[in-house]
Amino acid sequence: MIPDAFTYKATAWLFATLMIFFGDVAMASSLKLADPSELAGKWRVTQQDNPSNVCPLEFKANQTLGDGTECLAGWLGEQPISWFPEPDGIALTGKEGSKIVFFSRQRDGLYRGTSKTGLVITLEHPLH
């Protein structure tokens, strides 16, 4: 009986270890880091509280921001300077390089984030 208990316990530990390992592999493959060239271009930024209030925003291929940053700065309380993709979204950074806001991916071309003041902001790529 003791050898059976040892075998069952060892099997359970092995099974748990394999589940953790293969779960990590599956999760890593599902969170693909977007290439900056895929995200570059014109975007539309709106507030959840007032969807008619729209800011155009340009993501440049060199991961800086172009037109529209002044409008978005009013909502964020800080001027965004650059952007970078993350496995589960897009981050905008300020002049010090610190993250101002993170937009989590909802689906292709649609991202949602919350400003430091609690304002929900939607980032949408019109081509998707």
Q: Over the stretch 20-32, which tens digit does the pLDDT of each residue have?
A: 756 554 455 467 8
Six token digits for residue 41? 């271009």
Query: What pLDDT, on a 0 to 100 scale, did the predictor assign at position 15?
Result: 64
Q: Where are the domains of the chain?
A: 1-30, 36-124
Indicate if the alpha-carbon torsion angle 65, 66, 68, 73 is positive or negative. positive
- Hey, what CATH topology would domain 36-124 get? Lipocalin (2.40.128)
Q: How confident is the model at residue 70 (pLDDT cuts 50, 70, 90)?
A: very high
Burial class (CB in 10 A: 0-12, 13-18, 19+), 12: exposed
What is the pTM assigned to this prediction?
Answer: 0.73
Q: Are 121 and 75 in contact (CB under 8 A)?
A: yes
